[in-house]
Structure formats: structure tokens, C-alpha cells
Structure 1
């Protein structure tokens, strides 16, 4: 198909959209305001020479599972997924940690009397994994291509994770392991639909793993850019777009922006109903990020945790739910939920020999830049890894305000493009048949504020690009269609 396309924003969704459009034959230009492409999937040596720190996203369950990334064959451009010996760990004050292995059977064996329940919860999703991923990484309100897979998953999805965990599991080990995955939704575990996240993340570990990208998350971006250029597209860096006149007369325009940025664009005439929906858009709980360079391994109380790529630091199910509830209510938790990435468990290129890069963030109130949050991250680490403070060689704190200054889509430190509660769980960003259409002819939204939401998988961009291509073909068949 001939034509031109402009994409505003070079995050994984913007680049995913650009690649789909370029492969369809359009001449594609991506405009990126920053000096490097990637949005929240960039990497840099912020902790010193010889280090690699993921500035945003770090571990990629749905990157490895992404139907788009798989179809593109990004390995041709150097992308390599590396898997840690253990996908994730969940330490507790009393008793052994919950360990999430690639093997469903091994995970169940480690959970003892809760092993059978863990298997029953995840087996159906794991067995239909490819169909399930295709079904859930897109708009939920549509005719499902794989109804059996969606039905199997849907039976597990609607319930609060806290209710599911207490109903199915008897040990804090299994409850905590499930809850840690569930609060990737950045919602309290008592919230409806959080079981969907717990089940989906657990099944991802058993099906395709929780890998990191060799050399940093930037490698995902670099592979997408290389594929785009291979098909004739280009990325213009240092090219902020504040008015759509800057990208006209492109046949289609895709915006890898959240509602706040869309509303600030000049030259964009949106239908009043859609504009009101964007104005009502709610942003959610924030992340307060702490990056550490250590002079050796993390001194976890249980040494097996050092082999995990991801560590959920939050304690029991009740503690995690309480912390998420506090953060959502605008109060900084004394013991916040902290998500830790140990990329070095899979990729030794992240730090000089003998040192360790540790990536962590806490869930905090929206816009909370209180430096006490950084200290509470370290307190939580120290709780399960006594002596970790003594190993710190370098430290960089990135509070919510600085996250937003670095990437305007991270409004108030919300890394998911908007809260996943209420109608925003299902209808993103507005209640309408096509979630990617803005109502302005030829203009589409392709950010994490559209389905399927946050994560490095490119699927929001993929679906938006397909919507744009369908509409473009229809407009050309019907010249009077506007």
C-alpha cells in the first residue's frame, strides 16, 4: 500500500506501529523529542563506566511472548532474550521464599501442599499460551479469535487476587508469590480483575519465561529501529511535535502519547465526546525508582534469591495489599511494595567483574517525590538482604517527577499510561468500538493508554497500525468518505 505515515513518539508501541506500517508499504517517519529512541525502554551507564542500567522497563515477560516481536523476527537485528535460572522470587520474613521457575512442575513442587492448586490455576493458560496471549494483548471488547483460550483464562480473571490467593492457597509462600505477580497491575490485591494479572504473569513464566534483553532493554528498541530502517522508514531524533501541522500532509498519524499530551497538541480537532473522555482520563499510582551499583552480590538471606531475575519485595499478601492501598490513597507506605530486577542473574554484561547492578522501584502515591521513598526501598531490601546498604558503590534515585521529566508519558510517575481501574480496565481511553481511533480523520492513538495497556510488547502500536491501514484502504475505496 502506498502512502505516508507519521508516528509521534518512539517507545516500543510507536516503533511497533511504525514497523507494521512500513512493512505494509507506507513511507514512515517517527518523530522523537529526545536525543535517543525508545521511550521508557532505554538503557544507559548512569551508575558509572562499564555499567548498563535500564532507565525504564527491565524484565520482559510479554516481550518474549509478544506476537508482534515474534513475527518480526527481531533476533535478526541482534535481540537476544536471556533467562535467569529462576524467573522470580518472593522472600518472606518467616519460611522459605516462593520461587517461580520456568517449569510449572518444579514451581509446584517447591510450593509443597499448595503445589496442586498452583498447577490447577495455571495449567489451562499455559497449555493454551499462544492463543491466550493473542487474545489478551489486544482490545478486550471484540469477537475473540480464540474463544476457548479466552474462556479458560476468563474463568480465573475477574476475581480479586487476594480472594483467589486465600481461597486456593494455604501457605504465605504461595499467596505471596501469586500476589507479587498480581500487583503488577499497580492496584491493591483486593481489587477486581487483579487475579488476571497474577495468573497471566505466572503462566508467562512457565510458558515463555521472564527474560531480559542482552545488553539492556535498549536492544529491543535498536532491533525495532533496524527493522523499520530495513523497510524504508526512519526515526528523527530531537524532533518534538507540538502541532500536527509539523507532520502534515501524512496520510495517517499515530500518536504514542497519553491523553494529557494528546490534549496539548495543536492542530488536532477532536470530537467533543472524545476530548471529554481524554480530559477525564485518570493516572494511577506512581513508581519511585532506585538504581544501585553494589561491590558484590546482593546478600539475600536465602541465597537462592540471587539466581532470580525478578524479586518481589513486599512480604505477605496482607502486607502487599496494605501497601498498595496506602499508595493508591495518596499515603507513602512504611513498607512499600518494591519490584527488584537482577539482570545480572542472566546477563553478566550489566556490571564490571565482581560488581552488581540492582534495579528497583517502589509503588508510591501519584507524583510523590519524597526522598523518604528511596530510603524505604533500601529498608525493604535490607529487611531480606541484611548488609546490602554496606555494599552500595553508587546510587541514583529517580522520583516520579524526574521520571515524567525524562519521559512525558510517565505522568506523575505512572508507568502504565493510566490507572487500570474502573472503566479504564476495559475501555482505554474511551468507550467506543475502535479504541485506537481518535475521531479525527487519519489520526490514531497507539500508546499504553490503549489496549492492552503497559508493557514492552508493541501490541498497542500493532493494533493501532492495523486499524489505520484498514481505514486508509476504506477511504481510498470510498473517496467521499472524508
Structure 2
């Protein structure tokens, strides 16, 4: 008999399965796609020797989160490769801004704002584990360290307004480009928190790429689940909870819209209405390029970065992101670009290499993003178009067809407003439990929110163990415990 069934095999569903299976439960996972992983899928698109990351490519949180720290990807053969420059931001006029792993080098290149950048990010990097553990907590528990709230609060407030504390455009754009990872209104307290989290990890645990692609992380998680007796069913979209049979716990790695679909009238009307009021954010439109040479960035420094933010000045980024929130299409959207072979040379083969690119667009945008992103990259890398061998685009609307959790292309599984950071997906003391006995949520629509950190699944699984099985001490996740 199955003890727990998990619907959805994104990073959080897989993390939940790892915890439950290691606690000795019989776990089954259900996935509508042919392969597991959600945002952790890597495959060949044009050339069998060149693989592309279908969703996420860069993984700051996989290097930093408590779940992955204990799970220990490196010990499982997943090599998280670190670029010397985690992210760069080319500017319309003047040299590009960049964040090095070295805080001192970053400060040296930011001129008069160097000391401000060090004062902002340095203390966070020095207390990185406390800061990460606080921001990736269930947001219902007291923090273990006393320093993190005092470090984060004043800094977030200082960068939540329209007036930037930085004097130079380079530093203003560099910080705002990281804040744009919130995929929502700028500036805001939520986006400032995202910028502080991601910004400081560039100088601590880094912004790594898994050697061979993001799918390597999913493979490691699946291997551990199977080693502990878990079973995985792919190519099956669960349409009703009744399909899962007699199980003591069900965990849903689903968006609120999908939760309503599978649970339907079983949910109390008040809770169902609350899920219906959940807000989704702007969409992501993705282009995958196969190219025959590195991206010819006008500023060679940009070519050394693991991630490139294309947004122009701070004022440009605010305009682009706020237009997406308001539902207004722009021709120069904020974009993220990754040339994986810069950090992982093994991703290039036969003189060809992948280029990964996202644009932030309006929710449900139907435009094919290939030309949109090609032209965006060309602005800062003249001649890029001439390197393209093949391309594929996925509009924001099409992303929902690929993964129903991405409503309208919202890869964050919900807008990162201040309210939806603390009341996600609804206002409940235990956001993982639903009114249905034994049914729990474990997707990015629960705290601490989006990114590949596994913590939504980890927190949910701990509640399941305690509430349904009387297990109060979570199992160890060390790879030394993998069964032969």
C-alpha cells in the first residue's frame, strides 16, 4: 500500500518525495509529462550532441538552500560549476556592470559606489547561511540566527523605493537587474528582498550551472527516491484525487488553479474562492538558440558572465517590468541570457553550443519570442544573428500548455507581491495543509516561493510526517544513507 502520493514532479515534489521516502514511507509520484523534473529538464532540441535547459539553467538556490546543503549534490556526482562573474549587465552607454564572486573585485569596478555595494552585500555574504535560512524558512518559525532580520530589514526598506541609494548608473542597473528576478512590480519590498537574496549569494555560494545541464539535479533526486522504494508514474495527468486511491497523505506540487481542478467540489467553498483570488504574475517567453560561436558581446567582459541581464538603465528596467505587470506589451522587454558553455565547456560540441534566453512579458502573451529575443541580444552583441544555426520559441501562453502550473507563462507560480509572500497561496497559519484531511500543498505557491531550492516540498513533507505519521524528527538526507 502507498503511504503518500505526490502529484507533480518539479523540484518541490521531488524534494518532498526524498524526505518522505527516507522516513520509510511508500511514496508514489505522478507526472503528466513523459519525464520528471518540472523546471529541471534538459534535452537535445536541434543537435543530439548539444543539450538545452528547457526551463531553469542557473541555480543560486540549489547551492544555498538547506535542503540541497544536506542532500549534497556534489557527493552525488552533480558538479555545480561556478563562473568567476555570476552576472553581468551591459549598458547602452559605457562599459558593462558586473558582479564577481569576489566582493572586492566587484567594488573596485563600481567606482564611487564600490563602498556602498560592499556595505550592502558584504554583511549579508558574511552571514549568508543565516540570511538564506530565514528567507527560505516556512515564514512561521523564529529564525535561528539573530543577525539576519536586522541585516535584511533596513536594506530592503532602503531599496524598496523609486530613489536608488546608488549614485552611478552601473550600480543602479546592476542591482535593479537582480531585483527583476522577482518578475513583478518594481521597485517594491518583495523585489528588494529578492535582490538582496540573489545579490549576496553571488559573493557567497555563487550562481552555479550544473555540469551537463539542470536535468542532472532531477536525476540525482530521482535516484535517491527510487533507492528508497519510491515509484514514479509519468505520462499520466491526474484529473481527480480519487485516482490516487487509498493513501494516507496526498501532496500537490501544483498551482492553485490546478489544485481546484483536481480537488474540485471536495474543497470547502470558502477555501476554493480564496484559491480563485490568487494572483498570477507576468509571463516568461523563452527562446533556445543553437549557435556556431560564443555570443559576440560588444563588451568582452559580458562574455565571461554566467548570466547576462539585458534591461538597459534602471529607469528602463522599471518601465519594462511595470509594463508587463500592467499587461502592456513592450518591444524591448527585460531579458536574461545564458551561454552555458562559457562556464561548462562540455556543453559545446562540434563547434556548436546552446544559448538560453528568457523575456519577461505580459501574462498570456502569445508572441513568438525568437525574433524578440534575437533582436534584444543583437542590441548588445552585434552579429549574434549571424551565429544562429537553429532556434525554437515558447511563448508565455504556450508555457502553460507545456506545464499547467505556469499559468499564463508565470514560472513563479504566483505574483510575488508582499501579501502573497506571507500569505501564499491563502492566509492560513499552516499554508501547506488544506481543509481536506490528508491533502497538502508543496508547490512554489507555498512559502518560501519560487526558485529551485526544494524548500516548499521539504517544509510540506515535514508537516505530513508530523501530522499524518507522528514522525517529529525529519530523516537525514546525507547520500551516505542511500541503500544499495
> TM-score if structure 1 supplies the norm length?
0.94
**Counterpart-to-counterpart distance in 2, 1:425 and 1:231:** 33
Query: Shift of residue 251 of structure 1?
Result: 1.1
1:459 aligns with 2:458: no
1:251-273 deviations in Å (ceiling 9; x for gaps) = 11100000010101147722333
**Counterpart-to-counterpart distance in 1, 2:432 and 2:100:** 36
1:215 aligns with 2:212: yes
Query: Shift of residue 246 of structure 1?
Result: 1.6
1:387 aligns with 2:383: yes
Query: Shift of residue 474 of structure 1?
Result: 4.9
1:399-431 deviations in Å (ceiling 9; x for gaps) = 012211111111110000011115112210011
1:153-209 deviations in Å (ceiling 9; x for gaps) = 222224555646x22x11111111100100100123222332111111110111100
- Equivalent residues in 2 for 1:20-419, closer than 5 Å: 20-161=19-160, 163=162, 166-167=164-165, 169-266=166-263, 269-371=266-368, 373-419=369-415
Task: Judge conservation of contact 1:16–1:462 (CA < 8 Å) in 2.
Answer: yes
Unaligned runs of 5+ in 2: 473-484
Task: Judge conservation of contact 1:244–1:268 (CA < 8 Å) in 2.
Answer: no
**Greater alpha carbon shift after TM alignment, 299-308 vs 68-77:** 68-77
**Counterpart-to-counterpart distance in 1, 2:160 and 2:385:** 33
Task: Judge conservation of contact 2:335–2:360 (CA < 8 Å) in 1.
Answer: yes
Query: Shift of residue 13 of structure 1?
Result: 0.2
**Counterpart-to-counterpart distance in 1, 2:297 and 2:78:** 31
Task: Judge conservation of contact 1:288–1:362 (CA < 8 Å) in 2.
Answer: yes
Task: Judge conservation of contact 1:162–1:179 (CA < 8 Å) in 2.
Answer: no
1:12-61 deviations in Å (ceiling 9; x for gaps) = 00000000111111111111111101012101111322111000011000
Query: Shift of residue 239 of structure 1?
Result: 2.5
The DSSP-based 3-state class of the residue aligned with 2:35 is coil
The DSSP-based 3-state class of the residue aligned with 2:466 is helix
**Greater alpha carbon shift after TM alignment, 244-253 vs 427-436:** 244-253
Query: Structure 1 residues 11 and 161, CA, compared in 2 at 3 Å: closer, same or farther?
Result: same
Query: Shift of residue 472 of structure 1?
Result: 1.4
Query: Structure 1 residues 333 and 130, CA, compared in 2 at 3 Å: closer, same or farther?
Result: same
Count of residues in correspondence between the two structures: 472
The DSSP-based 3-state class of the residue aligned with 1:206 is coil
The DSSP-based 3-state class of the residue aligned with 1:289 is strand
**Greater alpha carbon shift after TM alignment, 327-336 vs 203-212:** 327-336
**Counterpart-to-counterpart distance in 2, 1:222 and 1:272:** 39
2:479 aligned residue: none
After TM superposition, which residue ranges in structure 1, 4 or more long, deviate above 3 angstroms? 158-164, 473-476
Task: Judge conservation of contact 1:159–1:192 (CA < 8 Å) in 2.
Answer: no
Of 426, 440, 448, the residue aligned with 2:444 is 448
**Greater alpha carbon shift after TM alignment, 25-34 vs 151-160:** 151-160
Task: Judge conservation of contact 1:188–1:322 (CA < 8 Å) in 2.
Answer: no
1:6 aligns with 2:5: yes
Query: Shift of residue 327 of structure 1?
Result: 1.2
Aligned residues: CA RMSD:
1.8
2:476 aligned residue: none
**Counterpart-to-counterpart distance in 1, 2:141 and 2:269:** 25
Query: Structure 1 residues 232 and 75, CA, compared in 2 at 3 Å: closer, same or farther?
Result: farther
**Greater alpha carbon shift after TM alignment, 454-463 vs 70-79:** 70-79
**Counterpart-to-counterpart distance in 1, 2:2 and 2:75:** 27
Query: Shift of residue 3 of structure 1?
Result: 7.2
The DSSP-based 3-state class of the residue aligned with 1:409 is coil
> TM-score if structure 2 supplies the norm length?
0.94
Task: Judge conservation of contact 2:295–2:339 (CA < 8 Å) in 1.
Answer: no
Query: Structure 1 residues 358 and 161, CA, compared in 2 at 3 Å: closer, same or farther?
Result: farther
The DSSP-based 3-state class of the residue aligned with 1:468 is helix
The DSSP-based 3-state class of the residue aligned with 2:232 is strand
